[in-house]
Amino acid sequence: MTKVMAQLAMVMNLDKCIGCHTCSVTCKQAWTNRAGTEYVWFNNVETRPGQGYPRTYQDQERWRGGWELNHRGRLRLKAGGRLRKLFSIFANPLMPSIQDYYEPWTYDYDRLFSAPMQDDTPVARPKSLITGENTKISWSANWDDNLAGGPELAPADPVLRKLSDQVKLEFEQAFMFYLPRICEHCLNPSCVASCPSGAMYKRSEDGIVLVDQDRCRGWRMCVTGCPYKKVYFNHKTGKAEKCTFCYPRVEVGIPTVCSETCVGRLRYIGLILYDADRVAEAASVADEKDLYEAQRSVLLDPNDPEVIAAARAEGIPEDWLEAARRSPIYKLIFDFGVALPLHPEYRTMPMVWYIPPLSPVVDVLSGTGHDGEDADNLFGAIDALRIPIGYLAELFSAGDPEPVRNVLRRLAAMRSYMRRINLGREPDESIATAVGMTGERVEEMYRLLAIAAYGERYVIPKAHAEQGARLEESMSGCSLDYEGGPGMGGPFGEASGMPVPVAVENFHALKDRQTTGALVDPEDRQNRVNLLNWDGKGTPDGLFPDRNGRKQP
Amino acid sequence: MNALDVVLWVVAPYLAITVFVLGHVWRYRYDKFGWTTRSSQMYESRLLRIGSPLFHFGILVVLLGHIGGLVIPKSWTEAAGVSEEAYHITAVVLGTVAGVATLGGLAILIYRRRTVGPVFTATTRNDKLMYAVLALVIVLGLAATIAANVVGGGYDYRTTISPWFRSIFYLQPDPALMAGAPPLFQLHALSALLLFAIWPFTRLVHMLTAPVGYLTRPYVVYRSRDDQRGSRKPRRGWEPTR
What's the pLDDT score for residue A283? 96
pLDDT, tens digit (0-9, with 9 covering 90-100), for A20-44: 999 999 999 999 999 899 999 999 9
- Strand partners for A69: A75
pLDDT, tens digit (0-9, with 9 covering 90-100), for A406-453: 999 999 999 999 999 999 999 999 999 999 999 999 999 999 999 999
CB atoms within 10 A of CB A370: 15
Average pLDDT, chain A: 86
Min Cα–Cα distance to chain A from B195, Å: 17
What is the ipTM, given to two decimal places?
0.90
Nearest to A85 by CA among B137, B236, B211: B211
CB A398 within 8 A of CB A344: yes
Rounded CA Rg of chain A: 26
Q: Does B128 touch chain A (CB under 8 A)?
A: no
Query: Does pTM top 0.80 for this prediction?
Result: yes
Residue type, A410: R
Residue spans of beta strands (DSSP E) within B194-234: 222-223
Residue B237 and residue A479: Cβ atoms within 8 Å? yes
Strand A299-300 vs strand A267-275: parallel, antiparallel, or unpaired?
antiparallel
CATH class as words, domain B3-227: mainly alpha
**Distant-in-sequence, close-in-space partners of B122: CB < 8 Å, separation ≥ 6:** A235, A236, B38, B40, B43
What's the pLDDT score for residue A148? 85
From the list A86, A204, A497, which residue is nearest B34 (CB)?
A497
What's the pLDDT score for residue A486? 44
Q: Does B236 touch chain A (CB under 8 A)?
A: no
Residue A203 and residue B223: Cβ atoms within 8 Å? yes
Q: Is A521 a residue whose pLDDT tops 70?
A: no
DSSP states along A53-78 = TTTTTT-HHHH--SEEE-TTS-EEET
Min Cα–Cα distance to chain A from B162, Å: 31
Q: What is the mean pLDDT of each run of 10 residues along chain B (242 residues)?
A: 90 97 95 93 95 97 94 90 88 92 97 94 94 97 89 86 95 92 95 97 95 94 72 66 57
DSSP states along A364-425 = HHHHTTS-TT-HHHHHHHHHH-HHHHHHHHHHHSTT-HHHHHHHHHHHHHHHHHHHHHHTTP
What's the pLDDT score for residue A527? 54
DSSP states along B17-65 = HHHHHHHHHHHHHH-STT-S----TTT--HHHHHHHHHHHHHHHHHHHH
Min Cα–Cα distance to chain B from A487, Å: 10
pLDDT, tens digit (0-9, with 9 covering 90-100), for A216-239: 999 999 999 999 999 999 999 999
Residue A218 and residue B238: Cβ atoms within 8 Å? no
pLDDT band of residue A469 (cuts 50, 70, 90) is very low
CB A428 within 8 A of CB A420: yes
Residue A233 and residue B42: Cβ atoms within 8 Å? yes
CB contacts < 8 A (A, B): 186
Residue B240 and residue A474: Cβ atoms within 8 Å? yes
CB atoms within 10 A of CB A429: 14
Q: What is the mean pLDDT of residues A95-113?
A: 94
Among A66-75, A156-165, B29-38, the least confident range: A156-165
Min Cα–Cα distance to chain A from B208, Å: 11
The Cα–Cα gap between A47 and A147 comes to: 7
Q: What is the 3-state secondary structure (H, E, C) of A469-531?
A: HHCHHHHCCCCCCCCCCCCCCECCECCCCCCCCHHHHHHHHHHHHHHCCCCCCCCCHHHCCCH
Residue A496 and residue B33: Cβ atoms within 8 Å? yes
A37-48 b/e with 16+ CB inside 10 Å = b?
Answer: bbbbbbbbbbbb
What's the pLDDT score for residue A47? 93
Q: What residues in B contact A492, CB-CB < 8 Å?
A: 31, 34, 124, 126, 201
What's the pLDDT score for residue A470? 44
Residue B38 and residue A82: Cβ atoms within 8 Å? no
What's the pLDDT score for residue A488? 43
Q: Which residue of B has its CA nearest to A81?
A: B215
pLDDT band of residue A373 (cuts 50, 70, 90) is confident
Residue A202 and residue B223: Cβ atoms within 8 Å? yes
Residue B117 and residue A239: Cβ atoms within 8 Å? no
Element (H, E) at A310: helix A305-313
More confident residue, A272 or A503: A272
Min Cα–Cα distance to chain B from A132, Å: 8
- Strand partners for A239: A234
Q: What residues in B contact A217, CB-CB < 8 Å?
A: 35-37, 206, 209, 211
What's the pLDDT score for residue A374? 81
Q: Is A168 a residue whose pLDDT tops 90?
A: no
What's the pLDDT score for residue A341? 97
Nearest to B236 by CA among A479, A473, A501, A502: A479
Write the burial class of residue A260 (CB in 10 Å: 0-12 exposed, 13-18 middle, 19+ buried). Answer: middle
Q: What is the separation of C-alpha A181 from the centre of its chain, rounded to a whole number of angstroms?
A: 4
Q: What residues in A contact B30, CB-CB < 8 Å?
A: 491, 497-498
Q: What is the 3-state secondary structure (H, E, C) of A142-186?
A: CCCHHHCCHHHHHHHCHHHHHCCHHHHHHCCCCCCEEEEECCCCC
From the list B31, B43, B220, which residue is nearest A98 (CB)?
B43
What's the pLDDT score for residue A481? 37
Q: Does B115 touch chain A (CB under 8 A)?
A: no
Q: What is the mean pLDDT of residues A490-507?
A: 58
- Strand partners for A270: A9
Q: Does B121 touch chain A (CB under 8 A)?
A: yes
Give the up-direction half-sphere exposure of residue A545: CA atoms within 13 A in the CB hemisphere: 10
Min Cα–Cα distance to chain A from B239, Å: 7
Q: Is A478 a residue whose pLDDT tops 90?
A: no
Among A114-123, A309-318, A543-552, the least confident range: A543-552
The Cα–Cα gap between A242 and A183 comes to: 7
What's the pLDDT score for residue A220? 95
pLDDT band of residue A471 (cuts 50, 70, 90) is very low
What's the pLDDT score for residue A552? 45
Q: What residues in A contact B233, CB-CB < 8 Å?
A: 477
Cα dist from B155 to B139, B147, B181, B185, whole Å = 18, 9, 9, 10
